[in-house]
Amino acid sequence: MDTQRNLDLIWEYRTYLRVEKGLRPLTCEAYDSDLKTFAEFLESRLGVLVTSTQQDVAAFLEHLRAHGIDSRSAARKLSCIRGFYKWLLLDRRIHHDPTVNIESPKAWKVLPKSLAESEVNAMLEVAEQAANGPQARATHLRDRAILELLYAGGLRVSEVTSLSTGDLALDLGRVLVRGKGDKERIVPLGVTALAALSVYLREGRPHLSRVRSFANRADGARLFLSLRGMPLTRQTVWQMVKSASGGASPHTLRHSCATHMVEHGADLRSVQVLLGHADISTTQVYTHLALGRLKAVHRLHHPRASGREVVEKRVLLTDEEAS
């Protein structure tokens, strides 16, 4: 009985998020999953969502820590729970928010992983290699265009798979992207990304779209298609990127895009707009990544840094040996 009561409440909240807040289906699914995890924990303590206490929430966070859940994931789950109880308060179903005074797990802002520029270049060079056969060439051109979009535009994998052909403006060098909360943004693209997309649209996509008719279907204009002519899934893109990069994820390419821009002097506001971050504090993490590489360059090239001294000593020894 308690389980069904919790599930009914979670379903109502998910409907609220989808209909009134306008959140994307994937975001709603993530909230649904987090709340169900919390509800199952409460049921193990003979509790339900509407009667949860501050002690229950604190115990849940400790339960996550004890089971190896990293602090970033725990913080996300707590944020979800906070939103849920705020909704219950506004709907007057509860009179006290059990998440009040609960601190978010410390150090949850883990520095995102990114590839070095040489690693990205190597990956894209491999992607340029020719493929034999019409099907193989079509998928090759598609994958090459996707890799360029993920890195050049810093797109999320869900943003890439939801693109339609009408979102592209190759003559203007940009693409219209729909991000979290269905917020739209214009993303400029570089020469190589535009070239890869042009070749895919001209030689790759026509072959894939002929496989299956999309008459009277909304997804018929989807930009990236599978071998069966169906819209490409996020899972397929994940597997493709992992294979092409030797283990990296699509999000790693997004992080690499932002990191490399900051390293080359881009201001945080521009990077924030490009990535579609709602808060610039989310973008600031990339300054830490760039700072780490800056320190390495400083150690190597500054006359008072240890790295430079080592290099100079090696040069002196070499000169002495030569004489």
As a whole number of angstroms, the distance between CA 187 and CA 160 comes to 12
Annotation marks residue 65 as catalytic: no
Tell whether 142 and 205 lie within a shared domain. yes
Tell whether 294 and 272 lie within a shared domain. no
Tell whether 19 and 84 lie within a shared domain. yes
Tell whether 268 and 142 lie within a shared domain. yes
In a domain, 109, yes or no: no
Contacts 24+ apart (CB under 8 A), 211-215: none
Structural domain of 188: 117-277
CB of 238 closer than 8 Å to CB of 117: no
Residue-wise over 27-45: b if at least 16 C-beta within 10 A, else e? bbeebbebbebbbebbeee
Tell whether 53 and 131 lie within a shared domain. no
Tell whether 197 and 265 lie within a shared domain. yes
Annotated catalytic residue within 251, 293, 299, 308: 251
Tell me, what's the pLDDT at 216? 41
CATH (domain of 267): 1.10.443.10
Annotated catalytic residue within 180, 185, 212, 308: 180
Tell whether 235 and 309 lie within a shared domain. no
In a domain, 312, yes or no: yes
In a domain, 99, yes or no: no
- Number of Cα atoms under 13 Å in the Cβ half of residue 36: 12
Q: Is the pTM of this model over 0.75?
A: no
In a domain, 191, yes or no: yes
Tell whether 122 and 246 lie within a shared domain. yes
In a domain, 249, yes or no: yes
Annotated catalytic residue within 76, 144, 156, 205: 156
Tell whether 147 and 264 lie within a shared domain. yes
pLDDT tens string, the chain, 323 residues long: the values are 578 888 999 999 999 999 988 888 889 999 999 999 999 999 998 889 999 999 999 999 988 988 888 787 888 899 999 999 999 999 989 999 999 988 877 644 555 678 888 999 889 888 777 677 878 889 999 999 999 999 999 999 999 999 999 999 999 999 999 988 778 999 999 899 999 999 999 999 998 887 665 444 545 689 999 988 899 999 999 999 999 988 899 999 998 998 888 888 888 888 888 888 877 777 777 766 566 555 666 677 767 665 444 444 444 444 444 44
Annotation marks residue 260 as catalytic: no
Annotated catalytic residue within 13, 31, 85, 286: 286
Tell me, what's the pLDDT at 83? 94
Annotated catalytic residue within 144, 207, 254, 260: 254
Tell whether 219 and 187 lie within a shared domain. yes
As a whole number of angstroms, the distance between CA 284 and CA 16 comes to 31
Helices first, then strands: H and E counts in the chain: 15, 3
In a domain, 112, yes or no: no
Annotation marks residue 286 as catalytic: yes
Tell whether 185 and 137 lie within a shared domain. yes
Annotation marks residue 251 as catalytic: yes
Contacts 24+ apart (CB under 8 A), 123-127: 123/147, 123/244, 123/245, 123/246, 124/148, 124/151, 124/192, 126/244, 127/244
The structural domain count of the chain equals 3
Tell whether 143 and 200 lie within a shared domain. yes
CATH (domain of 45): 1.10.150
In a domain, 239, yes or no: yes
Within the chain, strands assigned E span 168-169, 174-178, 184-188
In a domain, 104, yes or no: no
* Three-state SS letters, 145-209: HHHHHHHHCCCCHHHHHCCEHHHEECCCCEEEEECHHHCEEEEECCHHHHHHHHHHHHHHHHHHH
Other beta carbons within 10 angstroms of residue 139's beta carbon come to: 19
- 184 burial level (CB within 10 Å; 0-12, 13-18, 19+): exposed
